Amino acid sequence: MTIAATAGGNVRTRGMTGEERKVIFASSLGTVFEWYDFYIYGTLGAFLAKYFFSNVPPNVGFIFALLAFAAGFAVRPFGALIFGRLGDMIGRKYTFLVTMTLMGIGTFFIGLLPGYDSWGIAAPVVLIGLRLVQGLALGGEYGGAATYVAEHAPQNKRGYYTSWIQTTATLGLFMALLLILGIRTWMGEAAFGDWGWRVPFLLSGILLIVSIWIRLSLNESPVFQRMKEEGKTSKRPLTESFAEWSNAKVAIFALLGATAGEAVVWYGGQFYALFFLTQTIKVPAVTAQIMIVVALALGTPGFILFGWLSDKIGRKPIILAGFLLAALTYFPIFKGITHFANPKLETALASSPVTVIADPNECSFQFKATGTEKFTTSCDVAKSALVNLSVNYTNEAAPAGTKAKVKIGDQTLAADSPDFAKALPAAITKHGYPASADPNEINTVMTTVLLWILVIYVTLVYAPIAAWLVELFPSRIRYSSMSLPYHIGNGWFGGFLPATAFAIAAATGDIYSGLWYPVGVALMSLVIGFLFLPETKDVDITKT
């Protein structure tokens, strides 16, 4: 594989000036605000499901809310194409000023949007539309910020300086969680659930003004400015990036061998972990958010550490190590989270396993496309009820025509019996399945330690990724070339992780089965990255 920017040339190794440090600070701070805007939606998913998808059962509504969250990720690659092209043609600075403005406006109007009870189907439609605006904006933001910082940084410190940009996604989540916790505590649960959940969205208007003011004070990237003065900017950045095989193959390998794996580790270790705590093992939301916040605070310095280390030993070994560790340990870590956060659930799963005994031909996939379909067969009725109760179950085939039964420990219930809807919850409770985690039994220290380990994996795969992507592509098409694989990886492979994992768990009845998705993708990226992507820490990115 030929890397467009090769070692040699005019290499800057001096320390950064005060102006360049300002670039790092302003770019990072603005990006933190954008990630905050993007992630308050995910953090408040349960409230958005209640207000905008109240026409479907709660578990389906929550999956729909996750899919609306994922809609913003779905369009991120298109934002990368639109704004990447603009960034390579007119400049880095003005392009991510536009993206930031779109993000702030989209977030602010989500805070004003009436719910389903007021607007009917128009409410979720407009919500999804605003998520699409956010996704398009974020698709243009990251590539611009990472490119802008890298093109200001000395060659031997690109990993270190771009790692500050890498902290922004986690700091944005940290900021969203902390602000939501503060507002929730101050207002009380009733007021927050009624209307207070809108406040974090509305505050984005203030953050937008601050972000624009900060970024207006920045100058254009020196690399882009020199290209512009020399007339070397690309007239066809998308064609050069993706229609010419020498560059397109690098983008493909960057997607499959780097950003896809990085994305599932990032979203698995932070967002899916939060949803797993609150939705699957029923840890109270405030307790779960506090533990995530502490884990993020303890783990965030890892971004800077591994960014700095990547300047010494390379980007590739650090990122691949993160893929391997995640693939090997995700299952034991998430089972450990259940053990420490909801021991009664773990005991019930072991001592009183639940089995659905049914004719396989009567059993449907439990996640429906519209949420309006009815579960009519006895197997569907049984599985739907267990999914609604968040109870783990296994499947046992019965002869054709057999009516489904649910076996809980030593008790068996017929799914077609008239009192099944009442008898099942009673039997579940009788056999030790808790309605929620007991706050007095949650080992917050050990649970937080496991969450911290997940965040460390995030820092391993994410800290060097910006420098790696920047160094893979020539400066004339860098914004476009790195943005698309990054946002397909993070937007599609990562953004759909929570909804995909929950749908897999709902279909199989195994609360851990959704982990096969991030584990499988991480292993794929480990192999492809090892075989087909080069080390790049010594390349000269000033080459056009």
Specify the pLDDT at position 392.
83
Specify the pLDDT at position 365.
64
The pLDDT confidence band at residue 371, using thresholds 50, 70 and 90, is very low
The pLDDT confidence band at residue 525, using thresholds 50, 70 and 90, is very high
Specify the pLDDT at position 224.
76
Is pLDDT at 5 greater than 60 in this prediction?
A: no
Is pLDDT at 282 greater than 50 in this prediction?
A: yes
* Each residue's pLDDT tens digit, 103-122: 888 889 999 999 888 998 89
Identify each DSSP E strand in 172-257 by its residue range. none
Q: Taking Cα atoms as reference points, which of 167, 205, 188, 209 lies closest to residue 307?
A: 167
- 254 phi and psi angles, rounded to 5 deg: -65, -35
For β-strands 405-408 and 354-358, DSSP reports them as: antiparallel
The pLDDT confidence band at residue 246, using thresholds 50, 70 and 90, is confident
Q: Which two tokens stand for residue 105?
A: 């406006």
Q: Domains (ranges, CATH) in the chain?
A: 18-342+438-532 (1.20.1250.20), 351-430 (3.40.30)
DSSP state of 489: I
Between CA 191 and CA 210 the distance in angstroms is: 28
* Each residue's pLDDT tens digit, 326-337: 999 999 999 999
Q: Which residue has the higher pLDDT, 236 or 405?
A: 405
The pLDDT confidence band at residue 242, using thresholds 50, 70 and 90, is confident
Q: Hey, which residues does 408 pair with through a beta bridge?
A: 354, 411
* Each residue's pLDDT tens digit, 287-308: 998 999 899 889 999 999 999 9
Helix 18-43 / helix 92-112 crossing angle, nearest 10 deg: 30
Between CA 36 and CA 179 the distance in angstroms is: 10
Between CA 23 and CA 460 the distance in angstroms is: 24
The pLDDT confidence band at residue 318, using thresholds 50, 70 and 90, is very high
Between CA 437 and CA 439 the distance in angstroms is: 6
Specify the pLDDT at position 222.
74
- Single-letter amino acid code for the residue at 358: A
The H or E element spanning position 11 is: none
Between CA 312 and CA 218 the distance in angstroms is: 30
Between CA 35 and CA 142 the distance in angstroms is: 10
Q: What is the pTM of this model?
A: 0.83
Q: Provide the sign of the torsion angle of the four alpha carbons 34, 174, 483, 67, taken in this order.
A: negative
The pLDDT confidence band at residue 1, using thresholds 50, 70 and 90, is very low
* Each residue's pLDDT tens digit, 326-368: 999 999 999 999 999 999 999 988 888 899 999 988 887 655 4
Specify the pLDDT at position 523.
98
Tell me what the mean pLDDT of segment 249-261 comes to. 96
Between CA 527 and CA 382 the distance in angstroms is: 41
For β-strands 394-397 and 354-358, DSSP reports them as: parallel
* Each residue's pLDDT tens digit, 457-479: 999 999 999 999 999 998 888 88
- Single-letter amino acid code for the residue at 108: F
The pLDDT confidence band at residue 544, using thresholds 50, 70 and 90, is low
- Sheet bearing 405-408, strands edge to edge: 394-397, 354-358, 405-408, 411-414
Between CA 487 and CA 466 the distance in angstroms is: 12
When mean pLDDT is compared over 78-82, 376-380, 453-457, 498-502, the highest value belongs to: 453-457
Per residue in 224-237, is it b (16+ CB within 10 Å) or e — as a string?
A: beebeeeeebbeeb
Distance (Å) of CA 242 to CA 6, 212, 249, 252, 253: 20, 32, 8, 9, 12
The pLDDT confidence band at residue 7, using thresholds 50, 70 and 90, is very low
Specify the pLDDT at position 32.
81
* Each residue's pLDDT tens digit, 389-442: 778 888 899 999 899 999 998 899 999 898 998 999 999 999 988 988 999 999
Mean pLDDT of the chain: 86
Between CA 202 and CA 197 the distance in angstroms is: 10
Q: Are 416 and 404 in contact (CB under 8 A)?
A: yes
Per residue in 247-257, is it b (16+ CB within 10 Å) or e — as a string?
A: beebbbbbbbb
The pLDDT confidence band at residue 230, using thresholds 50, 70 and 90, is confident
Helix 516-532 / helix 315-341 crossing angle, nearest 10 deg: 170
Is pLDDT at 225 greater than 70 in this prediction?
A: yes
Specify the pLDDT at position 439.
94
Query: Range with the lowest mean pLDDT among 48-52, 68-72, 172-176, 258-262?
Result: 68-72
Task: Quote the percentage of the chain above a pLDDT of 70.
Answer: 93
Is pLDDT at 251 greater than 50 in this prediction?
A: yes
Q: Which residue has the higher pLDDT, 203 or 253?
A: 253
The H or E element spanning position 261 is: helix 260-267
* Each residue's pLDDT tens digit, 12-53: 445 556 766 777 777 777 678 767 876 788 778 888 888 898
Tell me what the mean pLDDT of segment 164-181 comes to. 85
- Could you identify the residue written with the tokens 């709902």? 506
* Each residue's pLDDT tens digit, 173-218: 888 888 998 998 899 989 998 999 999 999 888 888 887 887 787 7
382: left (phi over 0), alpha (psi -120 to 50) or beta: alpha
